[in-house]
Structure 1
């Protein structure tokens, strides 16, 4: 199987200075249109806010008024999602250009650190159009993985050196251990915080509204899947700097914007090599917990034998949900399964391929969410990975090439069509729509 940012994963007390949040309401004033949390609940306008969402990392790229953008397509995709009943999008608000071989270009910041104004305005457009449809957005402010440049690129800008994910000369967990050195590098952290200040303090060029005043933003997310390392030794060594980075970043965001929630973007115990205690410590000063679930990439199922491996995979998925529901309840905070993905049948990529086992997987996630809604549990919703919409792979090998503009939920380094749902996936769309209707 093709190696990617996730398939490597199978081989694998609160920080000081931030606000203590347990048991209090955060995010705007009571009854406001900002998404808030009180205990394990998310609310909006004084009503429960239940998330039925998707990941659409590329929304800002489509929203850019540039040769790589396509605003008309973005509008069409948002209309489709609205018609399905989806109400939340998780999108990238950062991408760092640099030498890493698999990172998307252009980025929000150029290799010299300067801003890409067109892409920033594309983010403005995406947020404004989401708001028109009553949707909220979660904005990820960096990435642990290489496909958007991420923390490894920020390190490279300071140190001059880097490691490519998937480089045979640096097998797992070298990339994760190398990237996690970011947290203890003051220069790299400074570059990250500069971007945070710029985005959180931004005024939308389309609406004229500051981001801090925009209730269409649900949450600022520190990064996509930030890990303290890959090896046990690196995780132990990086722990203090990791927790300090979380505390410092959350405190900075709240100092600029006290209306919005702050999330970490962590996968859960998969990010900490099984340590529940470190997951809890990482979320002491964060508004809600997140979980990401990748059965194929974590070795819980085999793509060439889904029928034979799915029953055991299903049990592991259910156990992972149970673990993180328990952790959220113990912390009196909400939980969102903000990434969950599964291959098409036979691990094929074409939209013509059936999705029998993906449907079964989604039903497990959606049942857990609906049970929590019914029982007033901490699990507040989910975002499937990811939305492909009308995009189709441009090449027979299903690989992305620099210059391609058919953005889809599968990032550029992954097979195009691996995990995303297309607008032609009738069974999947009906399943998601039926789930949304149960809100």
Structure 2
């Protein structure tokens, strides 16, 4: 009871605070801001109809790994589908782990591949031309881009953990959370933040901090306090890390929003109080959450008939309870990841997407229904845009030089990707984007 009273008092205090730095900045038009529990842009409410497009900067690179022709095609196809926002990876870290993307942006602390950074510049310039925005995440709790475990490899001397090899995700999560406590890792992480946030776009000549195409800087992809056995101390360290890092980003850039990248309850040791505490800082402008019924064992893709109803009930509850959390905290929330595989758990692009479309329909119904009621759900980013990418290998595992697509190297290529040939899924996305667009009203 004491904890609940403390939480309630904290929430009341938060409501009494002035608007966040980013939200209060009205000097420059065109930036996405927060107006109470909604986003605003250009003087009216703004909803996200978005895609995860983690590899966008890779395609924009002028070097061998890049494919600017494909990038332009992907952006045009997404724009035609009503997509107005992409969630992208800013940097990756070089690692020996097999399930990580190659090449990496950072070969070692302070050693950056300028070609990949120019790729981010090019992508941002093209987003601006299409009146699209980006959520740019600056780290990764998972190994597929090097991420926090690679920082520990650099500064602890411990081997970077690859749970694809060990098959022990509980151990991986517990050990990776040491990142928050390592002073050298945190110092280097802030060097990376400063490098990106203070960068001047080499294509447009515009500093990133002055670019309205940036919607939000994000601390990391799916940061967690540890595993299911996280202690009270672990949770406190995690909450402080979020608040301190977000404040640091806002000290460098007062124009843009800052978000955590949290999965919600699944990334908060199933602790709703922790999830809300992690987003109370005035420097965290909105909440995020992710929904993965297959990954969490709620549905069996090979036995959908027997597991669908249970998965549906749990998914609806998960979707709605997080919107209720956002209402308590008094900030918008974005469902920035969700996905489902193809029929029969197939990775083949020719396999139907009947179950996926059914799942997307349920998700979109909750999002649009709650949005129409004025609740603080501010939109979605599905996982993930595969576009024109195609799997190259019979086992569907990615190898360096293959097409990049929505499924990162830790997963089979085709697992959750929405390809440009998935007409029925794209039609659902387009229709939902139109429903959210219709809700955008003058502030």
Quote how far apart the aligned CAs of 1:48 are: 0.6
Task: Give the CA deviation at 1:412.
Answer: 1.2
Q: CA deviation at 1:31?
A: 7.9
Match of 1:376 among 374, 377, 380: 374
Matched, 1:248 2:244: yes
Is 1:139 paired with 2:136?
yes
Task: Say whether the 8 Å CA contact 1:94–1:141 is kept in structure 2.
Answer: yes
Shift of 1:160: 1.0
CA shift, 1:153, in A, is 0.5
Structure 2 matches for 1:130-169, cutoff 5 A?
130-166=127-163
Q: Alpha carbons of 1:399 and 1:377: their partners in 2 closer, same or farther (altered >3 Å)?
A: same
Alignment of 1:183 onto 2:183: no
Aligned partners of 1:172 and 1:79: how far apart in 2? 38
Q: When the two structures are aligned, how many residues end up with a matched partner?
A: 422
Q: Match for 1:273 among 248, 255, 269?
A: 269
1:350-369 maps to which residues of 2 (within 5 A)? Answer: 350-369=348-367
CA gap of 1:190–1:266, structure 2 versus 1, over 3 A, is same
User: Which residue does the alignment assign to 2:19?
Assistant: 24
How much has 1:402 moved relative to structure 2? 2.3
CA offsets per residue over residues 190-235 of structure 1, 9 Å max, x none? 1111100110111000000000100000000000000000132x34
- State how 1:50-61 maps to structure 2 within 5 Å: 50-61=47-58
1:243 to partner: Cα distance: 1.8
Deviation, 1:95, is 0.7
Aligned partner of residue 110 in structure 1, secondary structure: strand
| TM-score normalised by L of structure 2 | 0.92
**Separation in structure 2 between the aligned mates of residue 23 and residue 380 of structure 1, nearest angstrom:** 21
What is residue 120 of structure 2 aligned with on the other side?
123
**Partner Cα separation in structure 2 for residue 59 and residue 167 of structure 1:** 24
Closer/same/farther in 2, CA of residues 121 and 20 from structure 1, 3 Å limit: farther
SS at match of 1:43: strand
SS in 2 for 1:54: strand
1:23 Cα deviation (Å)?
A: 6.5
Alignment partners' CA distance in 1, 2:163 and 2:220: 21
The structure-2 alpha-carbon separation of the partners of 1:169 and 1:138, relative to structure 1 and needing over 3 Å to count, comes to closer
Unpaired segments of 5 or more residues in structure 2?
A: 1-6, 438-443
Cα pair 1:142 1:223 within 8 Å, conserved: yes
1:383-422 equivalences in 2 (<5 Å): 383-404=381-402, 406-422=403-419
- How much does 1:403 deviate? 2.7
Q: Does 1:312 align with 2:310?
A: yes
Measure, in 1, the Cα distance between the counterparts of 2:327 and 2:307: 30
Q: Is the deviation greater in 309-318 or in 240-249? A: 240-249
Find the counterpart in structure 2 of residue 195 from structure 1: 192
User: 1:271 deviation in Å?
Assistant: 0.8
C-alpha distance after superposition, 1:317-375 (max 9, x if no partner): 10001110110000110010000011111110111110111111111111112112211
Residues in 2 aligned to 1:148 and 1:30: alpha-carbon distance in whole angstroms: 36
Q: Quick check: 1:221–1:262 contact (8 Å CA) kept in 2?
A: yes
Distance 1:239 1:340 in 2: 25
Return the match for 2:36 from 31, 36, 39: 39
> After superposition, what is the alpha-carbon deviation per residue over 1:228-286, rounded to whole angstroms, capped at 9, x for unaligned?
00132x34332232122112211111111000000000000101221001001110111
The answer on 1:71 being equivalent to 2:64 is no
Deviates more, 1:408-417 or 1:105-114: 105-114
Q: Return closer, same or farther for 1:167/1:295 CA change in 2, 3 Å cut-off.
A: closer
Unmatched 5+ residue regions in structure 1? 1-12
Checking the alignment, whether the CA contact within 8 Å between 2:95 and 2:160 is kept in structure 1 is no
What CA distance in whole angstroms lies between the structure 1 residues aligned with 2:392 and 2:95? 25
Partner of 1:260: 256
Residue in structure 2 matched with residue 114 of structure 1 by the alignment: 111
- Any idea what the Cα deviations from partners look like across 1:126-166, whole Å, max 9, x if unmatched? 11111110100000000000000001101111011134232
> What's the counterpart of residue 3 of structure 2?
none
- Given that 2:152 and 2:160 are in contact with CA atoms closer than 8 Å, whether structure 1 keeps it comes out as no
**Residue range with higher mean Cα deviation, 157-166 or 168-177:** 168-177
Displacement of 1:413 in angstroms is 1.9
Q: 1:386 touches 1:410 (CA, 8 Å); kept in 2?
A: yes
Distance (Å, rounded) in 2 between the aligned partners of 1:62 and 1:20: 41
110 and 47 in structure 1: CA distance in 2 versus 1, 3 angstrom threshold: same
